[in-house]
Amino acid sequence: MTMKQKSKPVVKFGHFGTLAHGPALDNKCKSSDDVGLLKVLADYKIFVNLAKQISFDLNDVNSSKTAINQLTELLNNYRATALPVLEARDNSGQENLRSSIVEEFFQLLLYPLIEEVRKNHEAALALGKANSYVSLTFTPKSFISLFEKPTPSVHTKDQDFVLGCAVQLVSRIKSSDKKKQIASESIMNVVVPVVAIECKTYIERNMLDSCAGTAKRLKSAMPYCLYLVVAEYMKMDDAYPELTDIDEIFILTRASNSDRLRTRTQGLVTHNIGADLVYEIFKLVQCHLNKIWWSPEEALKRGRIIGRP
């Protein structure tokens, strides 16, 4: 009698949460009669529909790489037709149409990694744009009011992309009088980030410094947050990102911002995003989600507590 083979964990790319690009594009089309923008919206719908049809074995390297290559090719095809139209618009930088393409792409890309959590904890799952928790302060009006209204205040940081858990923080005074406890109670909704990705068209020194500050604040609140900076192009020379709390910085097109501007000026084809880099991000997040972040037993086996490579 042969042993029954385990079924392969076949997954598909998909969407979950508040989408970053599609709704913004659709709203802009509704308020405009721009034929070019309508064509971009049609191309976007084709891109998403085709992306959702890609299936693969999550535990098979070749299957995953093939699927991500296909997904990235679809993305590059969409970018090639969409970017010339979006970048030619007045105030294109303020419209958040171009920059949100990559933001929403991560919702598609990482969707297969949250299937089990989505089934069991859909209400608490955050995927996409979110305000991540960074700190909590108390600001009572006086010493006496501290015992009546502690006045907690949650501080958050708006992130381009977050994969995390929505939680409720409850604050109330310690008292044997239940009525006093209820009167002092405050309920705050926050998102605890597990993965945070800052998405940039290009990365420059000032942006790097800002991202470094964000990484420090996020990790002081959630030490096990994986913080990535993903830019399409690079615009900096001297910098020391390895001295920050940023886990990694990706330059998806392997090109400089000067290359980007020259391409636009000369009407050349947009630089493609590297599928190998997209796969690296996918595996980096997958490993982070699957590993045990703290285990005294494993630390004793290794003889090393932190366990970095």
Q: How far is CA 220 from CA 113, 134, 186, 245, 246, in A?
A: 25, 7, 23, 10, 13
Query: What are residue 288's phi and psi, to 5 degrees?
Result: -65, -40
Element (H, E) at 45: helix 35-51
Decide if pLDDT at 2 tops 80. Answer: no
For the chain, the first-to-last Cα distance in angstroms comes to 44
How confident is the model at residue 236, as a pLDDT?
82
Q: What confidence tens digit (pLDDT) does each residue in 74-84 have?
A: 999 999 999 99
Question: How far apart (Å, rounded) are the C-alpha atoms in residues 94 and 120?
Answer: 38
Question: Is the separation of the CB atoms in 264 and 87 below 8 Å?
Answer: yes
Q: What confidence tens digit (pLDDT) does each residue in 94-109 have?
A: 778 998 999 999 999 9
How confident is the model at residue 32, as a pLDDT?
82
Give me the count of residues in the chain. 309
Q: Find tokens 């069991």 and name the residue.
A: 120
Q: What confidence tens digit (pLDDT) does each residue in 173-226 have?
A: 999 999 999 999 999 999 999 999 999 999 998 999 999 999 999 999 999 999
Question: How far apart (Å, rounded) are the C-alpha atoms in residues 259 and 268?
Answer: 11
- Domain residue ranges in the chain: 10-302
Q: Using alpha carbons, select from 94, 244, 114 the residue that is nearest to residue 229.
A: 244
**pLDDT tier at 3, thresholds 50, 70, 90:** very low
**pLDDT tier at 55, thresholds 50, 70, 90:** very high
How confident is the model at residue 283, as a pLDDT?
97
Q: Find tokens 């604050």 and name the residue.
A: 171
Distance of CA 167 to the CA centre of its chain: 18
Question: Is the separation of the CB atoms in 56 and 63 below 8 Å?
Answer: yes
Q: Using alpha carbons, select from 18, 229, 246, 214 the residue that is nearest to residue 135.
A: 214
Contacts of 102 (CB under 8 A, 6+ apart): 199, 230, 232, 252
Query: What are residue 170's phi and psi, to 5 degrees?
Result: -115, 125
